[in-house]
Structure 1
Amino acid sequence: MANPKPDTRSLPAAELRVDQVDGKRRIVGYAAVFNSPSEDLGGFREIIRPGAFASALAGADVRLVVNHDPSLILGRTRNGTLKLVEDSRGLRYEADPPDTQMARDYLVSIERGDLSESSFRFYMFDDPNRGQSWRSEPTGVIREITEFARIDDVSIVAYAAYRATEVSVRSLDQARLALAKPDPWIAQADVELLFAEAD
């Protein structure tokens, strides 16, 4: 079962462009890149492994949005206007945006380079041992992701800077729990306290 709290990850300087296909404009980009350590996410770094998106994308209804705003939809897998593919580089997306003023405005912003980065919103499993592992290295803590529980959206974003947000702090707490291997009852109490403090 997926954890009820989502995380987001952004990719600075990812490929994001507008192509011409059969006289129409198509948005092409990468929401994630495999085997490449992230920047510091607030005390840890992440590496996404090939195949990590496969089960989460199977039958999923994912949307391409702007700045993770569900009212700014540019494509959707369910109706075929968004295609998501894991290739050798990462999670690639192609979207055929609607012929609306909103979409045209965002296409211009992408073409000008005002919007040039990508992000995705995901959920991990409730079981902290499924789909991820943590390890401590001389350079810091590494979270290796091999399977996502769910992907809600891929997003074109204005800011892709990694910040030590509430989400990153929650993930770092998971790392501490995994690396310390504490008593499970104490660990559960700590997690519940962390979520209570975040509200």
Structure 2
Amino acid sequence: MSKIEKRGGTLGVETRAADEKRTLVGYAAVFNSSADIAGWWTERIAPGAFAGTIGGDVRALVDHDMGRVIGRTASGTLRLSEDSRGLLCEIDIPNTTDGNDLWELVERGDISGMSFGFHVTKQEWDETVDPPVRTIQAVDLIEVSAVAWPAYDDTTIGKRALQEWRDANSEILDPAATDDLPVLRKVANDKLRRSMLLDLKVRNRG
């Protein structure tokens, strides 16, 4: 399986306590917000990008650490939804060392952000601008995390995705046929999307 991409930042997370239940609430992703990914490209998440994945079995973690689970959709302790702003997360914090420490750190303001780990399943690239713009249209959501630092330093998978898009375009685009460029770009994007979905199915089967 390919490496998981991680994105997020100081989008805000807050504590809510009622009926002896402690819940963290925040946004792991915001739609149509431009993020500079290490100067390599600008990235945006399109509304609806999580619609096909938030019903799956997703974990809530501390700082993307797979060994520090604090919630899970399958158990009902993590609830995910899309609204007009982005991906909203509600995590019922457990009475564990990680849970208690996290609750204290959020209340103190030491941890104030959320993030998410994902595989891209549908995307578009616009290279008519510099740096290129990547629009993420659909993802396979793996986890959401409460984080102390934005996770924008992981660019390896994204750079590979850009190269795949360029390779797909170079196979069919005729530089002289500028009048047909928008149509040809759509064909290239569709071809890459089918390839990525096939790859995802193969990986999931394994």
TM-score by length of 1: 0.78
Change (3 A) 1:21 1:177: farther
Deviation at 1:161, TM superposition (A): 4.8
Superposed CA offset, 1:139-194 (max 9, x none): 4201111111x11100112220522632343233234335544699xx99xxxxxx
Structure 2: unaligned runs, 5 residues or longer: 174-187, 196-206
Contact 1:134–1:178, Cα closer than 8 Å, also in 2: no
1:45-85 CA distance string (max 9 Å, x none): 11111111111223x11011011112211110001000000
Q: 1:192 aligns to what? A: none
Residues 174 and 158 of structure 1: is their aligned pair in 2 closer, same or farther, counting only changes over 3 Å? farther
Query: Match of 1:45?
Result: 42
CA shift in 2, pair 1:133/1:168, >3 Å? closer
Larger helix proportion of the pair: 2
Give the RMSD, CA atoms, in angstroms: 2.4
Larger Rg computed on CA atoms: 2
User: How big is the shift at 1:87?
Assistant: 0.6
Please state if 1:80 is matched with 2:76: yes
Deviation at 1:7, TM superposition (A): 3.4
The match for 1:177 is 167
> For 1:19-58, what aligned pairs fall within 5 Å after superposition?
19-58=16-55
Q: Which amino acid aligns with 1:138?
A: V
1:120 and 2:111 are equivalent in the alignment: no
Matching of residue 99 in structure 1 with residue 95 in structure 2: yes
Look up the match of 1:7.
Answer: 4
State how far apart, in whole Å, the 1-side matches of 2:154 and 2:6 are: 12
Q: Which residue of 2 aligns with 1:166?
A: 156
Q: How many percent of aligned residue pairs carry the same amino acid?
A: 38
1:21 CA drift (Å): 2.3
Cα distance in 2, alignment partners of residues 56 and 23 from structure 1? 30
How many equivalent residue pairs?
A: 176
114, 133, 143: which is aligned to 1:142?
A: 133
The Cα shift of 1:25 comes to 1.7
In 2, the alpha carbon distance for the partners of 1:35 and 1:109 equals: 29
Give the residue type in structure 1 aligned to 2:65.
Answer: D
Q: Distance in 1 between matches of 2:128 and 2:6?
A: 22
